[in-house]
Amino acid sequence: MLYIQKYDEVVLPEEFHQINNICAILFDQIVDVFRYDDYKNFTSHKILFDDNLKREKIEGFKSEDDLINFLLENNLSSELNDALTKKICSAIISDFSHFVYEAISAAKKCKTTVAFSLLRKPFTDELTILERLFIDPEGFIENYYIEGDIDKYDPSNNKTKNKINHFDLIDRCKKKMKYNLLIFSSLIHDIRYEKSFKGAIQELTNKSIHLVTNHKHYKTEAKDLNFIFDAVSNVDQYLHAFYTNTYYLLLYSTSLIDELYFRFLTSEEHKTLRKSKALRRLISMILVRNLTEETEEFRILDVILSVFESNKMYCSNCEFEFIPTGTDLEFFFFEENIKCPHCLGFAINSEADLEAFVSRFDVILNVKFRE
């Protein structure tokens, strides 16, 4: 379990408990697809046919490959792209979540070198495939399944002909996202790929995996070995680097993965769920603002608090009206609900209650910043 309860005995210094738990909540937003029926239309795929002859043929399929070949042979490209997008996304997200889970688990135990080493695959290679499936699913399916050209879908391919422009891909993803407030393309890119960005993924993962590194931006000092002698004495510094990077990359990853989920989940209930998840991610920025530098854009966090604290809440449980506080906002992030100060029960008790609450923040959620 990633979340640290109040009386849990853990070796992680207390100053990192909150950021750990914020990362745990963002992680849960990703893996909810494997736990709740709300997402069943993403983890399964229905294809409807009117032709009786085709139905008879389909009933004789012995494997998933038979169905895929049938879609190919009958030029049903839209159905094929949707089916393969769901299949690939589900597999990638599952593996992505395993690595991130173990990385945070290692950080909780102050095993920072192990934690760093687990970040590269999910946040560089796997996230790149998810980005491509979001921006151009047809193009990726063409490269991956129709052509089967490894060079065209390898996320770490650095060959000039098919080299990926990672900044452009990230920026296109950000611009296409419905909710992207306080996600900055340049920062996401630099944390993941910029070798000169001190304390980011390239330096941390390379130095955690290799005892000696020769790159000019993170060259091993003479008579030293990477992370071996100072991993204990500088553990707070390493934990800060781990959680800061992991939090912001999870913020982006969760936003991106939600776009993939909600492409196929479009009911009114799903729209409320999508908005609620986006609001919780936005609230997380308030909770970690002590780890970030204040900028003009970050004044939006004060606006969120102002909107939250200037509107009365109605408890559908005991019908009590009250004005919420910033503490209630934090409670909503962790519990996706508000506690009534009168009856001490949950004030939000239905889909309609949740929709009414999250809709207060529509204007803020839909703000688009230019970098």
For the four alpha carbons of 96, 99, 102 and 103, in that order, the dihedral sign comes to negative
CB-count exposure of residue 92 (10 Å: 0-12, 13-18, 19+) = buried
Put residue 293 in one of left, alpha, beta given phi > 0 → left and psi -120 to 50 → alpha. Answer: beta
**What is the pLDDT of the chain when averaged over all its residues?**
87
| pLDDT, position 298 | 56
Compute the distance between CA of residue 164 and CA of residue 108 in angstroms, rounded to an integer: 34
Yes or no: say if 255 and 183 are a contact pair by the CB < 8 Å rule.
yes
pTM for the model: 0.91
**pLDDT given for residue 297 in this prediction:** 52
Distance CA 363, CA 371 (A): 19
What tokens appear for 251 in the block?
């913020």
DSSP string, 29-54: HHHGGGT-GGGHHHHS-------HHH
Residue 165 — very low, low, confident or very high, per pLDDT cuts 50/70/90? very high
pLDDT of 241 higher than 80: yes
Task: Find where tokens 């997008």 sit.
Answer: 85
Could you give the CA distance from residue 316 to residue 282 in angstroms, rounded to a whole number?
A: 25
- 235 versus 290: which is more confidently predicted? 235
Q: What is the DSSP string of 201-213?
A: HHHHHHHHH-S--
pLDDT digit string (tens) for 322-351?
988 888 888 999 999 999 999 999 999 999
pLDDT of 197 reads: 87
For tokens 């908005």, the residue is 275
Residue corresponding to tokens 């990633």: 2
What pLDDT, on the 0 to 100 scale, is given for residue 218? 81
**Average pLDDT, stretch 272-298?**
79
pLDDT at 300: 66
Q: What count of Cα atoms within 13 Å lies in the side-chain half-sphere of residue 66?
A: 8
Choose between 15 and 156: higher pLDDT.
Answer: 15
The percentage of the chain sitting over the pLDDT mark of 70, rounded to a whole number, equals 89
d(Cα 13, Cα 6) in Å, to the nearest integer? 13
pLDDT above 70 (res 258): yes
**335 vs 297: which has the higher pLDDT:** 335
For 276-290, what is the mean pLDDT? 88
How far from chain centre, in Å, is Cα 341? Answer: 33
* Averaged pLDDT for residues 251-276: 96
